[in-house]
């Protein structure tokens, strides 16, 4: 799994960080998403899929 987050779409809601804190963080300055781990291990895939599903800006894409 590869994780990509579109910082142009992100509105800084932070839902992804709550779902998968090992994979997503937010910039201190403006709350925009930062991907900490673009190729997370298998045990985190479910949490990452949930994060992508609930992101209000549909900014997270998985491949
Ligand atoms: S849930 Fe979506 S909009 Fe919110 S911080 Fe994460 S990527 Fe950005």
pLDDT tens for the chain, residues 1 to 63: 999 999 999 999 999 999 999 999 999 999 999 999 999 999 999 999 999 999 999 999 999
Q: Identify the bridge partners of residue 26 per DSSP, sorted by sequence position.
A: 33
- Reference 1, options 53, 44, 34, 39; nearest CA is 39
Distance between Cα 12 and ligand 1 center (Å): 5
Distance between Cα 39 and ligand 1 center (Å): 18
Query: Which pLDDT belongs to residue 42?
Result: 98
Catalogue all structural domains in the chain, each as residue range(s) with its CATH number.
3-62 (3.30.70.20)
- Reference 58, options 10, 8, 3; nearest CA is 10
Query: Which pLDDT belongs to residue 10?
Result: 98
The residue whose CB lies within 8 Å of the most ligand 1 atoms, and thus the one to mutate among 14, 21, 48, is 14
Ligand 1 neighbours (beta carbon < 6 A): 5, 10-16, 24, 26, 33, 55-57, 59-60
Query: Which pLDDT belongs to residue 35?
Result: 98
Question: Structure pTM?
Answer: 0.95
- Give dist(CA 51, CA 56) in Å, integer: 10
Query: Which pLDDT belongs to residue 16?
Result: 97
């Amino acid at each position: 799994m590869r994780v990509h987050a579109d910082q142009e779409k992100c509105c800084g809601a932070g839902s992804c960080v709550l779902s998968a804190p090992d994979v997503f963080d937010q910039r201190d300055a403006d709350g925009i998403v930062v991907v900490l781990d673009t190729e997370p291990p298998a045990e985190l895939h479910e949490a990452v899929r949930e994060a992508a599903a609930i992101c209000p800006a549909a900014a997270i894409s998985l491949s």
